[in-house]
């Protein structure tokens, strides 16, 4: 009996489940419009702060994480699931493992998105980029992801196609890596139903966050979209993938190398330099496999470029893949230390992120949806003309968005570091830079409006296509033979070389990659190797940061936050202040001249979570407690920023002066911090009383500085703990050494 005969089982009849694909497709566009609309709103608020209507629920700091999460997890997330559910069934020649799990996945994911849409405007956040959702929602994400994984791997187990196509490899990597990233980055101890503190602190928390943050881009916004590319582009072009071997090299090098690259976000910070350098080296290596994937996609169109001029779907795919190539060239470039020193904290990073999100993720999604719509709704697309107009509006919108923001980023970086002929800072007031950027922000808003308009056109086009659908849908019967046991792999070809060493023969056999063909028919083995690649790379990065104590040298004068300061820090996070202000002064002359002494690793040992930030719309705040200790100034600044800083684009926070602080709720938070190892003493018994006492001290200082506040009721308002936190920032290293520590230091210095 031949191997092929052994592999063929009885013919079976089955049906694909396209209902779940229709649901995810419509959800993709609906949430895409919502997420991009919120993005446009906050873009306008950067020029017109009053656009938030003085509402805490519409403030920039609270809406910005709503925008990022909606675009990443709602728009792109639903697009991923639409792609996976449609292509997996066809590639496996099998219906999804469970219709019930498909439904639970869909409705569970939409519930998570709604929870995010409610929690962020309410100020419920972990304040960690791309991981802001609080612990109950994090648990829900984990459970729904497990449902998705069971459904996917269950489908692989009952497939009727023996070998896994390349798109399925990328789906496997996505499911495994996202699970690992989400779970380990979000380990936290709850303080209440809506508040938690991470188990990591300071430098370790920063390291874990950017291990997660960079790889969330890698395994949520890259690998699944590459799977989408490998399936839908050949279908749309009616051409085979350019190179099978390049697909293998692309996949495994990307999966292994990407995990290492996260620390390059921490150049010049208090994180260990070796970690950032390691991240930079692996980021540079990422350029090769990334461009391998780009070339594999574009070269798939060989012999079919004439179709691109006529087919809007192929246009979307070509521009999307081109933006992938641009982003994956720029990413490694931005990881280079000297380039990162200029770009980090500027709008350059925003332009880079949006070129990938709008160009790569957005256009690949639109191309897929336009290809899918006639097939899943079983009718013609409503308007091909609208589809073409969408392409051009979207392309122009992307360019009008990213080009001025690239210019804004370079302007920021160069103005911040400019010195005059006397060696003094040329632009001493941060607002000088802000004012220079406003024209570019207006152009960006126009570009964003165009891109949003195109997305709305796509939604209308798809809804009109849906309106002309057949009722009821046809459910075509599919037939394929079941997989039978006893399959025998074809013999591995020998070396094609002559007169060479044994090692050369082995390398030649290996390079033919027949071993990979065997892996492709063994999903469990394939998945195990993906797990190994992800975990090994992660452990090589993470473990040393916890084992090497010298990474975070202690500072004797650094003490835990008082109950009132901790309350203020929590309010700071709830208001999203970290979205505009960093708390990391890098060891660069222009930063130390502007902000003060550079930040030390030991200053952050009690910071849960860390607040180093990734963007400066406003000045760095790490030494604000040393440079501005006026209580009255801070009160006026929170109430109306332009009263203290003419030309400021910071929004007003009048509710901080009217909302009562939760003094009674601070005890549980102090207790939680103590459980995480923060050395609290008296605070464990009387945190509320201590917080009220410090609030009274600060209020009395306010009256001394400005008697007009006498008789006001600010003493128990949220503005007081916020100011307590501001006054504390960056002051620990200026404190005198405790008596015991001073004695030890003198002894150490004596011969």
In this predicted model, what pLDDT tens digit does every residue of 46-70 receive, in sequence order?
A: 999 999 999 999 999 999 999 999 9
In tens, the pLDDT along 66-102 reads 999 999 999 999 999 999 999 999 999 999 999 999 9
CATH of the structural domain 563-599+616-749, one choice from 1.10.760.10, 1.10.620.20, 3.30.1360.120, 3.20.20.60: 1.10.760.10
In tens, the pLDDT along 511-524 reads 878 888 889 999 99
Residue 574 CA to residue 588 CA, distance in Å, equals 30
Residue 81 CA to residue 21 CA, distance in Å, equals 8
Q: In the prediction, which pLDDT does 747 show? A: 56
Structure tokens at 106: 């869909």
How many Å from the N-terminal Cα to the C-terminal Cα in the chain? 87
- Looking at residues 522-549, what average pLDDT do you find? 83
Lowest pLDDT segment from 141-155, 255-269, 372-386, 645-659: 255-269
Q: In the prediction, which pLDDT does 38 show? A: 97
pLDDT at 147 over 50: yes
User: Residue 4: which pLDDT band, with cuts at 50, 70 and 90?
Assistant: very low
Residue 548 CA to residue 539 CA, distance in Å, equals 14
Number of H helices, E strands in the chain: 29, 4
- Looking at residues 169-191, what average pLDDT do you find? 96
Q: In the prediction, which pLDDT does 198 show? A: 96
In tens, the pLDDT along 207-219 reads 999 999 999 889 9
- Looking at residues 666-677, what average pLDDT do you find? 96
In tens, the pLDDT along 680-721 reads 999 999 999 999 999 999 999 999 999 999 989 999 999 999
Residue 621 CA to residue 146 CA, distance in Å, equals 40
Angle at 460 between CA 458 and CA 466, to 5 degrees: 105
pLDDT at 384 over 70: yes
Residue 393 CA to residue 561 CA, distance in Å, equals 51
User: Residue 542: which pLDDT band, with cuts at 50, 70 and 90?
Assistant: confident
Instruction: Give me the residues paired with residue 12 across strands.
Output: 480
Structure tokens at 568: 């203020």
Question: Whose CA is closest to 726, among 632, 606, 645, 654?
Answer: 632
Q: In the prediction, which pLDDT does 740 show? A: 62
pLDDT at 749 over 70: no
Structure tokens at 158: 């009952």
Share of the chain above pLDDT 90, in %: 84
Q: In the prediction, which pLDDT does 491 show? A: 81
Question: Which 3-state string (H, E, C) describes 549-593?
Answer: HHHCCCCCCCCCCCHHHHHHHHHHHHCCHHHCCCCCCCCCHHHHH
**688 sits in which H/E element:** helix 683-705
Contact 492, 509 (CB under 8 A): yes
Q: How many residues are there in the chain?
A: 751
Q: In the prediction, which pLDDT does 751 show? A: 57
Q: In the prediction, which pLDDT does 154 show? A: 97
**197 sits in which H/E element:** strand 195-198
Q: In the prediction, which pLDDT does 1 show? A: 37
Is the pTM value of this prediction over 0.85?
Answer: yes
Q: In the prediction, which pLDDT does 190 show? A: 97
Q: In the prediction, which pLDDT does 3 show? A: 45
The class that CATH gives domain 18-467 is mainly alpha
In tens, the pLDDT along 601-634 reads 999 999 999 999 999 999 999 999 999 999 999 9
In tens, the pLDDT along 311-369 reads 999 999 999 999 999 999 999 999 999 999 999 999 999 999 999 999 999 999 999 99
Alpha carbon 63 to chain centroid distance? Answer: 15
The mean pLDDT value of the chain amounts to 93
pLDDT at 595 over 90: yes
pLDDT at 543 over 70: yes
CA distances from 4 to 1, 69, 162, 164, 515 (A): 8, 48, 11, 17, 19
Contact 138, 182 (CB under 8 A): yes
Lowest pLDDT segment from 193-197, 443-447, 513-517, 531-535: 513-517
Q: In the prediction, which pLDDT does 493 show? A: 83
Q: In the prediction, which pLDDT does 10 show? A: 87
Q: In the prediction, which pLDDT does 744 show? A: 58
pLDDT at 739 over 70: no
The domain ranges of the chain are 18-467, 563-599+616-749
Residue 648 CA to residue 580 CA, distance in Å, equals 12
């Amino acid at each position: 009996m031949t191997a092929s005969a052994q592999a063929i089982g009885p013919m079976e009849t089955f049906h694909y489940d396209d209902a779940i694909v229709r649901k995810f497709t419509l959800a993709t566009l609906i949430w895409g419009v919502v997420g991009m609309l919120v993005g446009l709103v906050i873009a306008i608020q950067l020029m017109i702060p009053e656009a938030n209507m003085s509402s805490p629920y519409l403030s920039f700091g609270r809406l910005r994480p709503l925008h990022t999460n909606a675009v990443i997890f709602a728009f792109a997330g639903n697009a991923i699931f639409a792609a996976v559910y449609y292509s997996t069934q066809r590639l496996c020649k099998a219906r999804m493992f469970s219709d019930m799990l498909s439904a639970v996945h869909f409705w569970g994911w939409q519930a998570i998105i709604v929870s995010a849409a409610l929690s962020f405007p309410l100020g419920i956040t972990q304040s960690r980029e791309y991981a802001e959702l609080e612990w109950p929602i994090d648990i829900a994400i984990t459970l729904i992801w497990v449902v998705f994984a069971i459904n996917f791997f269950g489908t692989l187990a009952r497939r009727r196609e023996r070998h896994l196509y390349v798109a399925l490899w990328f789906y496997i990597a996505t499911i495994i890596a996202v699970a690992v990233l989400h779970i380990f980055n979000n380990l936290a101890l709850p303080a209440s139903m809506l508040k938690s503190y991470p188990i990591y602190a300071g430098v370790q928390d920063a390291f874990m966050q950017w291990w997660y943050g960079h790889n969330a881009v890698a395994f949520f916004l890259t690998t699944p979209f590459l799977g989408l590319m490998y399936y839908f582009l050949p279908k749309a072009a009616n051409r085979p993938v350019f190179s099978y071997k390049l697909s293998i090299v692309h996949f495994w090098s990307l999966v292994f190398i990407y995990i290492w690259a996260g620390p390059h976000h921490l150049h010049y910070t208090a994180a260990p330099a070796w970690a950032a350098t390691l991240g930079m080296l692996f980021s540079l290596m990422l350029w090769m496999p990334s461009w391998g994937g780009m070339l594999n996609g574009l070269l798939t169109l060989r012999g079919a470029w004439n179709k691109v001029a006529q087919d809007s779907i192929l246009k979307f795919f070509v521009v999307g893949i081109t933006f992938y190539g641009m982003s994956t060239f720029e990413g490694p470039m931005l990881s280079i230390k000297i380039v990162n020193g200029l770009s980090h904290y500027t709008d350059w990073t925003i332009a880079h992120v949006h070129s990938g999100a709008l160009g790569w993720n957005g256009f690949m999604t639109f191309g897929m949806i336009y290809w899918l719509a006639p097939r899943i709704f079983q009718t013609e697309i409503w308007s091909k003309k609208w589809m073409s107009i969408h392409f051009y509006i979207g392309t122009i919108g992307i360019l009008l968005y990213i080009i001025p923001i690239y210019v804004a980023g370079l302007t920021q970086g160069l103005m911040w570091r400019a010195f005059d002929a006397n060696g003094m800072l040329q632009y001493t007031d941060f607002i000088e830079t802000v004012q220079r950027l406003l024209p570019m922000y207006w152009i960006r808003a126009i570009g964003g409006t165009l891109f949003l308009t195109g997305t709305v056109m796509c939604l209308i086009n798809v809804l009109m296509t849906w309106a002309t659908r057949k009722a009821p849908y046809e459910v075509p019967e599919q037939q394929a033979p079941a997989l039978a046991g006893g399959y025998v792999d074809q013999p591995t070809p020998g070396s094609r070389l002559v007169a060479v060493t044994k090692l050369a023969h082995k390398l030649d056999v290996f390079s033919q990659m027949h071993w990979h063909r065997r892996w492709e028919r063994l999903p469990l083995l394939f998945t195990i190797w993906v797990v190994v690649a992800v975990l090994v790379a992660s452990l090589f990065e993470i473990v040393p940061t916890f084992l090497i104590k010298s990474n975070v040298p202690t500072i004797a004068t650094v003490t835990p936050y008082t109950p009132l300061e901790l309350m203020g820090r929590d309010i700071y996070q709830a208001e999203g202040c970290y979205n505009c202000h960093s708390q990391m002064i890098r060891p660069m002359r222009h930063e130390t001249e502007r902000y003060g002494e550079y930040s030390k690793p030991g200053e952050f040992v009690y910071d849960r979570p860390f607040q180093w930030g990734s963007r400066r719309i406003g000045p760095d705040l790490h030494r604000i407690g040393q440079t501005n200790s006026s209580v009255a100034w801070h009160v006026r600044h929170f109430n109306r920023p332009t009263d203290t800083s003419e030309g400021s684009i910071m929004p007003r926070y009048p509710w901080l002066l009217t909302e009562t602080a939760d003094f009674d709720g601070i005890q549980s938070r102090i207790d939680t911090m103590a459980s995480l190892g923060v050395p609290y003493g008296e605070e464990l018994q009387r945190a509320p009383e201590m917080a009220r006492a410090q609030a009274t001290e600060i209020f009395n200082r306010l009256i001394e500085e400005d008697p007009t506040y006498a008789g006001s009721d600010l003493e128990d308002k949220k503005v007081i703990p916020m100011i307590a936190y501001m006054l504390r920032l960056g002051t620990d290293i200026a404190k005198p050494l405790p008596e015991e520590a001073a004695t030890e230091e003198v002894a150490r210095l004596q011969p």
